[in-house]
């Protein structure tokens, strides 16, 4: 098992190398660079532009820039953000908690809503719960996420029921700890709903099909024959087995912790990593982009590893190692 | 095989209705120039944000109600009582090329003397939203089809070869797909778009987007096809074919791949929504289709202006409704197809 | 509303202390400095929180690093300068220097600093700080924008300390915008930043990270000092207890206790925050005025029309006769003939329905633009430039004079039979500009001219305009206003932003030569009427020759909560430039 984990983690390195190289090459192919907006200002001196270019290393070919960056990364230095003049690692670390918080709440929403609904729907296929939930799921999967976010912002503006964007109120600093908690919770409601809705629908569909599968298996028939109540059969025997395949989606959920909410964060004005990363792409703030790609990619691979391990742990038939 | 699927599809009302709806949508997109009274770029700066014009029945004719601008600062229009103009059917209008080939100038309906008719209102420069929606459908709907076609082609070839050949081509292909799946999709999308945009002229953005979305999408299909081929390879009829001395390529293309077609059709149908939503997201970020062309994503992206909500220009959100409708139809159809092909077959989750 | 009340009730039920009054912070009462400046505004009452919002994020709090308006705006709140530019009168006023003399050579400026002024940490502000700031700016280790603003033809100004409270600045040549430029330089605290200056890390000092961890180390001489910064959420400033201004009754300014700026994603979000009563002030675009006005009474604000904005929008043709490295001309020769023909450009200008653009795209809230400055720039605007009202008949006349003919297929052709067609490039990020481009295309079709539109990333567009020159026509905007010196790179034929033909070695046309001369002349005299005369002529030539075909300028609107007193709205620049004088009788928003 340890060997398996180590082998998988070792595979991370070439992958990261290839991904960052690809992204770096693509970014250097893009027209313009970080200094383009500066160049377009009407009262800026060309000599200053040249000096800035030199100090950023933008006057060198891209592969040289990449090699320099790579060299620094080996010393665990991910470079400075050109925009903020702050180490990239520090910048990402500042913004990541809010994003992780949002991802977790929406994941929580997806699972807590989807699991009971899926079991209830599958218990009576074609019943009204089943029809209602599957209709809702079709609808939820069809709404573009950003459009839903826009509608939510508009609703909040019109009704005043929810704050428009942000994670804390203006007087947050003056609140007591418990009020701080509720303040954040209140700000999280809308983004969580928007981000979680697609997750609810997706999980619901997968889980419902799984439950249906398991219901047809022999041991369920046996359990029913033993005279166990339907509730016990459903939630003790069926659900546990139906959740197994869902474990494999943990990897994706984990990977999406930081990048999954980019669109929603941007539309809903949420102070997370999404806005930072998107702006870094637009401004071509190279090292921030590379840093976020490294983090996103590592999370994906680690996430996949975790879901493989979870699968092995829950299903003894799965074995690793050759 | 395909006929079987079709027959069992006929027995499923949801799938059938979806198929009919999609057929209708594609037909509308195809005949957009004929169905629309004007061109997607025709502007009227005196009629910006015009509400949908009412149709009234008068003197035995279907007529379009006329409006006047009562407050330019809020784009408020009021119907002029008893002022309406009868529609002209199958009349001459702006010339166009049907299917891009046949020159024509007949339109289903027009209004004489360039009176405005806005079935779904007008946008920021007084263009007809209904017309733009029809023309935009062409782009939004075909991005899905072309994208899925490219993806399937790539996935089928690479996945099929990998599964059949095994060995190093297999590992190579699988590492490549893992690599593609390991990059956070949206990041790669942003980077690709930035890198390629200057190499495509702005009116070829359509192509660019299809290429980007397909380049990111084929990995999943390839893995599924590989898995299928791996399991099929051990089946008796394949073994028989190789025993009677058929060449590997013949086996692959005659026997193996055709057997994955039904799965592929299901997978393709279910992945079309991904392309439609992908185009919408890109356009929303301002990275998709560019003016003066029109697409649903672009139109929806332009509707993110807060005044559109606050002044209730709801008709500018119709592209959103169109996207939702189309995606639901594709998902329903895909599910129906899957049930028809094999109820137990499941695609890897998105 | 109902739902929210319920929710809040629920919160209160769980947390009884939620409604506890906040701890009232008392402002320390330091003695007023000797060199106190007394405001002439109506005396008010202390207290209150002023809330506004800004799209985007400060990228730094270090004036040597700042390249963007957002960061510079925040820096200006806490770092004061020798003199101020009053945006209402467009005159230079005393700042940290209470007075100054200009020597007869018009090159030597002696500034007398206010005695007794302290930094926000209580350390005295002296001539050493001024000298240190200029040293830092001119130090080649720290490339920065001010170093170039504060030089004439690449030659630096010299600075010397006369005594603790007197400095002398000398310019190598007469430099007209000297006071305006010096007014923009935020003075740095020597005692705080000298270590960073010594070890070469000055550009990394005062970054956003420090602002989060130790906000008070960003020392202030301005009305406010930084209290806290939460990225992507808000910046909170508090009154600087050592500020050097007071009102007529001897109450130290500013009146407001806190200035809170919400950091939002874009202008949409910023507008929405104001319209829902969350902020006190907001610049509004013309298309949003009408609906926001509906909320005015509910949230107690008013919307003011500031008149035309200083923003210009224009179309131009590439007149660059050069060739690329492969020997291919940047512009096809027959098209270059059209583009360099003044009558062609004038005909295009007459063919643009600017009133229609104002009506349709700007909701009737704007005006046609004929020259490089808008009326917002009261001090320099020349109203007597040549105008090109919408007149397709006149366009056709001009085109006919230039040898163009409209064929039976409704297509315009030049003398040699070439169909008149060109591609207009603009950036895709700006929706208003995209609307103007599509409207322009329709206008040109009426003249028989085919315009193809190309919407590019800003980066690609700038690349085409400034590096590769392979385009036919462009559409962009510039923010005008301010001193003519800021326009040198646009107007002078050597300029980088002389977009129709940049970086010329010698002027291509007599009128460009004349503009070069005028721009140089106005820079080397301190006499306002003379400078105005020169710059008026520049504007007139620009409108006659129309290398830039100016389009429209939107009116600028501002929304302000009614509870604020001492409001004076300038025609351009920041709305709350006199924030230190604002006060409110109503302390709760």
CATH number of domain containing C548 = 3.10.105.10
**Is C360 within 8 Å of B125 when comparing Cβ atoms?**
yes
Residues B65 and B173 in one domain: no
Give the pLDDT score at C344. 95
In a domain, B44, yes or no: no
Give dist(CA C212, CA C232) in Å, integer.
12
**Is B186 within 8 Å of A23 when comparing Cβ atoms?**
no
Whether chain A has a CB inside 8 Å of the CB on B344: the answer is: yes
CA distances to B350, C64, C101, C114, C216 from C125, rounded to whole Å, are 63, 19, 20, 9, 17
What's the domain range around C519? 311-554
Q: Report the domain count for chain C.
A: 2
- Is the confidence at residue C457, as pLDDT, over 80? no
Confidence band, pLDDT 50/70/90 cuts, at residue C99 = very high
Q: Which residues from chain A sit within 8 angstroms of residue B304, using beta carbons? A: 146, 150, 267
Residues B25 and B66 in one domain: no
Q: Which residues from chain C sit within 8 angstroms of residue B197, using beta carbons? A: 456-457, 460
Residues B208 and B87 in one domain: no
| Of A23, A202, A292, Cβ closest to residue B349 | A202
- Is the confidence at residue C306, as pLDDT, over 50? yes
Instruction: Return the sign of the alpha-carbon dihedral for residues A4, A9, A12, A14.
Output: negative
**Is C268 within 8 Å of B305 when comparing Cβ atoms?**
yes
Give the pLDDT score at C501. 92
In a domain, C17, yes or no: no
Contact between A34 and C130 under an 8 Å Cβ cutoff? The reply is no
Give the pLDDT score at A317. 56
**Is C7 within 8 Å of A48 when comparing Cβ atoms?**
no
Helices assigned H by DSSP within chain A: 2-29, 36-39, 46-56, 62-74, 88-123, 128-142, 145-159, 177-215, 218-225, 230-232, 239-247, 250-259, 262-268, 273-283, 286-314
Residues A136-190: tens digit of each pLDDT: 988 988 888 888 988 888 888 888 788 887 888 877 777 788 888 888 889 899 9
Residues C509 and C568 in one domain: no
Q: Report the domain count for chain B.
A: 2
| Of B178, B187, B346, Cβ closest to residue A259 | B187
Q: List the single best residue of B69, B286, B308 to mutate versus C (max C Cβ within 10 A).
A: B286
Q: Which residue has the higher pLDDT, A83 or C525?
A: C525
CA atoms within 13 A on the CB side of C410: 5
Total beta-carbon pairs less than 8 A apart between chain A and chain C:
153
In a domain, C9, yes or no: no
- Is the confidence at residue C19, as pLDDT, over 60? no
Whether chain A has a CB inside 8 Å of the CB on C260: the answer is: yes
Residues B86 and B56 in one domain: yes
**Is C18 within 8 Å of A38 when comparing Cβ atoms?**
no
Phi-psi sector, B12: left (phi>0), alpha (psi -120 to 50), beta: beta
- Is the confidence at residue C388, as pLDDT, over 60? yes
Give the pLDDT score at B200. 66
Residues B86 and B166 in one domain: no
Give the pLDDT score at B157. 86
- Is the confidence at residue C22, as pLDDT, over 60? no
Whether chain A has a CB inside 8 Å of the CB on B171: the answer is: no
Q: List the single best residue of A27, A281, A297 to mutate versus B (max B Cβ within 10 A).
A: A281
Residues A208-265: tens digit of each pLDDT: 887 887 777 777 777 777 777 777 777 777 777 777 767 766 666 776 676 677 888 8
**Is C51 within 8 Å of A170 when comparing Cβ atoms?**
yes
In a domain, C4, yes or no: no
Residues C177 and C224 in one domain: yes
Q: Which residues from chain B sit within 8 angstroms of residue C353, using beta carbons? A: 45
Residues C263 and C352 in one domain: no
Q: In this predicted structure, which of A57-71, C121-135, C332-346 has the lowest mean pLDDT?
A: A57-71
Residues B284-299: tens digit of each pLDDT: 877 777 777 788 988 8
Which residues 113-172 on chain B approach chain C with CB closer than 8 angstroms?
A: 124-126
CATH number of domain containing B199 = 1.10.3720.10
Q: List the single best residue of A150, A199, A289 to mutate versus B (max B Cβ within 10 A).
A: A150
- Is the confidence at residue C513, as pLDDT, over 90? yes
Asked which of B124, B143, B175 is the last residue of a domain, the reply is B124
Distance from CA of A148 to the nearest CA of B (A): 10
Residues B299 and B154 in one domain: yes
Residues C408-419: tens digit of each pLDDT: 888 999 999 999
**Is C439 within 8 Å of B45 when comparing Cβ atoms?**
yes
Residues C478 and C332 in one domain: yes
In a domain, B171, yes or no: yes
Q: Which residue has the higher pLDDT, C140 or C12?
A: C140
Residues C110 and C243 in one domain: yes
In a domain, B213, yes or no: yes
Mean pLDDT of chain C: 88
Give the pLDDT score at C588. 58
What separation, in Å, do the N-terminal and C-terminal C-alpha atoms of chain A show? 11
Residues C405 and C265 in one domain: no
In a domain, B41, yes or no: no
Mean pLDDT of chain B: 81
Distance from CA of B47 to the nearest CA of C (A): 7
Nearest CA in chain A to B301: A147
Which residues 150-169 on chain C approach chain A with CB closer than 8 angstroms?
A: 154
Most confident of B244-253, B263-272, C69-78: C69-78
Asked which of B84, B107, B124 is the last residue of a domain, the reply is B124
Contact between C388 and C314 under an 8 Å Cβ cutoff? The reply is no
Give dist(CA A272, CA A259) in Å, integer.
10
Asked which of B76, B104, B124 is the last residue of a domain, the reply is B124
- Is the confidence at residue B283, as pLDDT, over 50? yes
What's the domain range around B181? 2-29+133-345
Whether chain C has a CB inside 8 Å of the CB on B306: the answer is: yes
CATH number of domain containing C174 = 3.40.190.10
Residues C166-212: tens digit of each pLDDT: 999 999 988 888 988 888 889 999 999 999 999 988 988 998 889 99
* Closest by CA position to C540, among listed C343, C383, C352: C383
What separation, in Å, do the N-terminal and C-terminal C-alpha atoms of chain C show? 17
Question: A84 exposed, middle or buried (CB, 10 Å; 0-12, 13-18, 19+)?
Answer: buried
CA distances to C78, C103, C159, C184 from C108, rounded to whole Å, are 28, 5, 10, 18
Q: Which tokens is C412 given? A: 């315009």
Residues C569 and C530 in one domain: no
**Is A147 within 8 Å of B186 when comparing Cβ atoms?**
no
Confidence band, pLDDT 50/70/90 cuts, at residue A66 = confident
Contact between B151 and B217 under an 8 Å Cβ cutoff? The reply is yes
Residues B115 and B145 in one domain: no
**Is A26 within 8 Å of B327 when comparing Cβ atoms?**
no
Chains that touch B (3 or more CB pairs under 8 A): A, C
Give dist(CA C503, CA B268) in Å, integer.
54
Rounded mean pLDDT, C39-61 = 89
In a domain, B153, yes or no: yes
**Is C460 within 8 Å of A32 when comparing Cβ atoms?**
yes
In a domain, B36, yes or no: no
Q: List the single best residue of C52, C232, C234, C589 to mutate versus A (max A Cβ within 10 A).
A: C232
Rounded mean pLDDT, A90-111 = 87
Give the pLDDT score at C225. 94
Give the pLDDT score at B214. 83
Query: pLDDT over 70 for what percent of chain A?
Result: 89
CA distances to C149, C164, C225 from C187, rounded to whole Å, are 15, 15, 14
Residues B236 and B323 in one domain: yes
In a domain, B39, yes or no: no
Contact between C143 and A48 under an 8 Å Cβ cutoff? The reply is yes
**Is C359 within 8 Å of B45 when comparing Cβ atoms?**
yes
Give the pLDDT score at C4. 43
Residues C150 and C231 in one domain: yes
Give the pLDDT score at C47. 87
Give the pLDDT score at A294. 84
Q: Which residues from chain B sit within 8 angstroms of residue A139, using beta carbons? A: 324, 328
| Of B281, B327, B349, Cβ closest to residue A146 | B281
Q: Is B58 helix (H, G, I), strand (E, B) or coil?
A: strand
Q: How large is the ipTM?
A: 0.80
Total beta-carbon pairs less than 8 A apart between chain B and chain C:
90
What separation, in Å, do the N-terminal and C-terminal C-alpha atoms of chain B show? 27
Judge if pTM exceeds 0.80.
yes
Residues C100-151: tens digit of each pLDDT: 999 999 899 999 999 999 999 999 999 999 999 999 999 988 888 888 788 8
Confidence band, pLDDT 50/70/90 cuts, at residue C16 = very low
- Is the confidence at residue B204, as pLDDT, over 80? no
Residues B179 and B249 in one domain: yes
In a domain, C331, yes or no: yes
* Closest by CA position to A102, among listed A271, A277, A275: A271
Q: Which residues from chain A sit within 8 angstroms of residue C145, using beta carbons? A: 44-45, 48
Whether chain C has a CB inside 8 Å of the CB on B285: the answer is: no
Confidence band, pLDDT 50/70/90 cuts, at residue B132 = very high
In a domain, C14, yes or no: no
Q: Which residues from chain B sit within 8 angstroms of residue C362, using beta carbons? A: none
Residues C534 and C464 in one domain: yes
- Is the confidence at residue C534, as pLDDT, over 60? yes
Residues C528 and C572 in one domain: no
Residues B66 and B160 in one domain: no
Confidence band, pLDDT 50/70/90 cuts, at residue A42 = low
Give dist(CA A270, CA C265) in Å, integer.
9
Give the pLDDT score at C545. 93
Q: In this predicted structure, which of B132-146, B191-205, B313-327 has the lowest mean pLDDT?
A: B191-205
Rounded mean pLDDT, C484-490 = 85
In a domain, C362, yes or no: yes
Distance from CA of A13 to the nearest CA of C (A): 30
Residues B18 and B57 in one domain: no
Residues B152-193: tens digit of each pLDDT: 888 888 888 888 887 888 888 888 887 777 777 777 777 777
Residues C273 and C385 in one domain: no
| Phi–psi pair at C36, nearest 5 degrees | -55, 140
- In terms of DSSP bridges, do strands C108-113 and C97-102 run parallel, antiparallel, or are they unpaired? antiparallel
Distance from CA of A23 to the nearest CA of C (A): 18
Query: pLDDT over 70 for what percent of chain B?
Result: 93
Residues C274 and C336 in one domain: no
Nearest CA in chain B to A248: B349
Nearest CA in chain A to C491: A42
In a domain, B42, yes or no: no
Q: Is A21 helix (H, G, I), strand (E, B) or coil?
A: helix
Give the pLDDT score at B131. 92
- Is the confidence at residue C15, as pLDDT, over 60? no
In a domain, C294, yes or no: no
Instruction: Return the sign of the alpha-carbon dihedral for residues B269, B274, B275, B279.
Output: positive
Rounded mean pLDDT, C314-326 = 91
Nearest CA in chain C to B195: C460
Residues B58 and B8 in one domain: no
In a domain, C19, yes or no: no
Question: Which residue in this structure is represented by tokens 């959740």?
Answer: A243
């Amino acid at each position: 098992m340890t060997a398996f984990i180590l082998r998988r983690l070792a595979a991370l390195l070439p992958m990261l190398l290839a991904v960052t190289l690809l992204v770096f090459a693509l970014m250097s192919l893009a027209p313009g660079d970080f200094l383009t907006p500066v160049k377009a200002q009407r009262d800026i001196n060309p000599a200053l532009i040249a000096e800035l270019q030199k100090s950023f290393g933008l006057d060198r070919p891209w592969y040289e820039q990449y090699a320099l960056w790579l060299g620094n990364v080996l010393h665990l230095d991910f470079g400075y953000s050109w925009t903020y003049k702050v180490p990239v690692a520090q910048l990402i670390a500042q913004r990541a908690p809010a994003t992780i918080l949002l991802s977790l709440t929406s994941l929580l929403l997806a699972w807590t809503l989807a699991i009971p609904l899926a079991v209830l729907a599958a218990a009576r296929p074609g019943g009204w719960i089943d029809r209602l939930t599957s209709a809702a799921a079709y609808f939820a999967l069809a709404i573009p996420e950003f459009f839903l976010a826009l509608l939510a912002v508009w609703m909040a503006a019109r009704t005043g029921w929810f704050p428009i964007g942000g994670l804390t109120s203006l007087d947050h600093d003056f609140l007591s700890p418990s009020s701080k908690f509720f303040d954040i919770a209140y700000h999280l409601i809308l983004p969580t709903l928007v981000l979680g809705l697609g997750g609810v629908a997706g999980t619901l569909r997968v889980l419902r099909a799984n439950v249906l599968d398991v219901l047809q298996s022999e041991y369920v028939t046996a359990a029913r024959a033993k005279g166990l109540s339907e509730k016990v059969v459903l939630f003790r025997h069926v659900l546990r087995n139906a959740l197994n395949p869902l474990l494999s989606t943990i990897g994706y959920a984990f990977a999406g912790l930081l990048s999954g909410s980019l669109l929603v964060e941007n539309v809903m004005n949420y102070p997370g990593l999404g806005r930072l990363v998107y702006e870094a792409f637009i401004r071509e703030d190279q090292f921030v982009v590379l840093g976020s790609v490294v983090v996103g990619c590592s999370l994906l691979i680690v996430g996949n590893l975790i879901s493989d391990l979870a699968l092995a742990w829950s299903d003894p038939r799965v074995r690793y190692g050759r | 095989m395909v006929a079987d699927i079709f027959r069992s599809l006929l027995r499923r009302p949801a799938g059938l209705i979806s198929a009919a709806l999609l057929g209708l949508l594609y037909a509308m997109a195809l005949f957009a120039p004929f169905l629309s009274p004007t061109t997607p770029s025709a502007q009227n700066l005196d009629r910006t944000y015009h509400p949908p014009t009412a149709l009234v029945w008068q003197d035995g004719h279907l007529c379009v109600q006329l409006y006047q601008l009562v407050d330019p600062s809020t784009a408020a229009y009021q119907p002029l009582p008893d002022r309406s103009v009868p529609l002209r059917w199958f009349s001459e209008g702006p010339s166009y090329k049907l299917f891009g080939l046949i020159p024509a100038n007949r339109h289903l309906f027009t209004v004489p003397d360039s009176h405005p008719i806005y079935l779904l209102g007008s946008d920021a420069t007084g263009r007809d939203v209904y017309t733009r929606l029809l023309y935009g459908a062409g782009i939004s709907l075909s991005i899905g089809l072309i994208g899925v076609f490219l993806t399937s082609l790539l996935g089928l070839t690479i996945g099929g070869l990998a599964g059949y050949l095994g060995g190093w081509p297999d590992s190579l292909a699988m590492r490549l797909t893992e690599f593609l799946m390991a990059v956070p999709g949206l990041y790669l999308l942003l980077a690709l778009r930035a890198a390629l945009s200057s190499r495509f002229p702005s009116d070829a953005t359509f192509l660019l987007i299809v290429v980007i979305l397909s380049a990111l999408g084929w990995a999943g299909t390839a893995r599924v096809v590989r898995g299928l081929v791996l399991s099929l390879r051990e089946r008796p009829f394949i073994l028989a074919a190789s025993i009677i001395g058929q060449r590997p390529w013949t086996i692959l293309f005659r026997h193996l791949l055709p057997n994955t077609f039904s799965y592929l059709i299901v997978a393709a149908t279910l992945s079309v929504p991904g392309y439609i939503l992908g185009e919408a997201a890109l356009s929303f970020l301002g990275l998709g289709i560019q003016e003066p062309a029109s697409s649903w994503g672009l139109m929806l992206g332009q509707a993110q202006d807060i005044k559109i909500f606050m002044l209730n220009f709801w008709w500018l959100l119709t592209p959103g409704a169109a996207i939702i409708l189309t995606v639901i139809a594709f998902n329903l159809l895909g599910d129906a197809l899957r049930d028809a092909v094999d109820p137990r077959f499941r695609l890897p989750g998105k | 509303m109902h739902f929210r009340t319920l929710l809040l009730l629920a919160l209160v039920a769980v947390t009884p202390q939620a409604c506890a009054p906040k701890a009232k912070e008392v402002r320390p009462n330091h003695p007023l400095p000797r060199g106190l400046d007394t405001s002439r505004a109506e005396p008010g009452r202390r207290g209150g929180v002023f809330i506004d919002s800004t799209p985007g994020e400060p990228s730094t709090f270090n004036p040597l690093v700042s390249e963007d308006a957002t960061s510079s705006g925040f820096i200006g709140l806490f770092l004061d300068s020798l003199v101020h530019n009053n945006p209402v009168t467009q005159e230079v006023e005393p700042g940290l220097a209470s007075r100054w003399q200009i020597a007869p050579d018009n090159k030597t400026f002696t500034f007398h600093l206010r005695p007794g002024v302290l930094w926000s940490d209580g350390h005295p502000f002296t001539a050493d700080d001024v000298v240190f700031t200029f040293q830092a700016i001119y130090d080649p280790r720290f490339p920065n924008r001010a170093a170039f603003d504060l030089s004439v033809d690449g030659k630096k100004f010299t600075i010397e300390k006369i005594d603790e409270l007197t400095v002398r600045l000398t310019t190598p040549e007469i430099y007209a915008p000297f006071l305006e430029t010096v007014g923009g330089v935020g003075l740095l605290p020597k005692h705080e930043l000298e270590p960073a200056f010594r070890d070469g890390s000055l550009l990394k000092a005062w970054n956003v990270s420090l602002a989060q961890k130790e906000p008070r180390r960003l020392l202030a001489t301005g009305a406010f000092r930084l209290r806290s910064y939460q990225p992507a959420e808000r910046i909170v400033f508090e009154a600087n207890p050592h500020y050097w201004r007071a009102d007529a009754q001897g109450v130290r300014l500013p009146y407001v206790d806190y200035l809170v700026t919400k950091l939002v994603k874009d202008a949409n979000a910023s507008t929405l925050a104001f319209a829902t009563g969350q902020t006190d002030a907001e610049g509004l675009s013309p298309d949003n005025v009408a609906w926001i006005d509906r909320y005015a009474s509910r949230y107690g604000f008013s919307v003011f029309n500031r008149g035309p904005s200083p923003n210009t929008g224009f179309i131009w043709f590439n007149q660059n006769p050069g060739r690329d490295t492969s020997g291919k001309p940047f512009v096809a020769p027959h098209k270059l003939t059209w583009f360099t023909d003044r009558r062609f450009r004038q005909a295009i200008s007459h063919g643009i329905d600017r009133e229609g653009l104002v009506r349709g795209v700007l909701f009737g809230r704007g005006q046609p633009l004929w020259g490089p400055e808008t009326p917002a720039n009261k001090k320099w605007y020349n109203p007597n430039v040549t105008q090109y009202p919408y007149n397709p008949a006149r366009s056709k006349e001009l085109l006919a004079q230039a040898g163009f003919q409209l064929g039976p297929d409704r297509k315009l052709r030049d003398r040699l039979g070439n169909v008149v067609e060109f591609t207009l490039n603009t950036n895709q990020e700006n929706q208003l500009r995209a609307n103007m481009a599509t409207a322009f295309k329709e206008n040109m079709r009426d003249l028989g001219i085919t315009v193809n539109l190309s919407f590019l990333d800003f980066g690609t567009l700038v690349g085409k305009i400034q590096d590769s020159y392979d385009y036919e026509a462009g559409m962009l905007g510039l923010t005008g206003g301010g001193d003519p010196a800021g326009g040198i790179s646009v107007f002078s034929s050597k300029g980088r932003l002389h977009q129709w033909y940049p970086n010329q070695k010698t002027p291509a046309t007599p009128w460009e030569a004349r503009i070069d001369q005028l721009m140089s002349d106005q820079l080397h005299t301190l006499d306002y009427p003379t400078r105005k005369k020169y710059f008026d002529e520049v504007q007139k030539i620009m409108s006659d020759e129309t290398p830039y075909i100016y389009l429209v300028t939107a009116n600028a609107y501002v929304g302000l909560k009614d509870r604020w007193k001492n409001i004076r709205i300038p025609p351009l620049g920041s709305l709350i430039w006199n924030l230190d004088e604002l006060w409110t009788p109503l302390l709760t928003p």
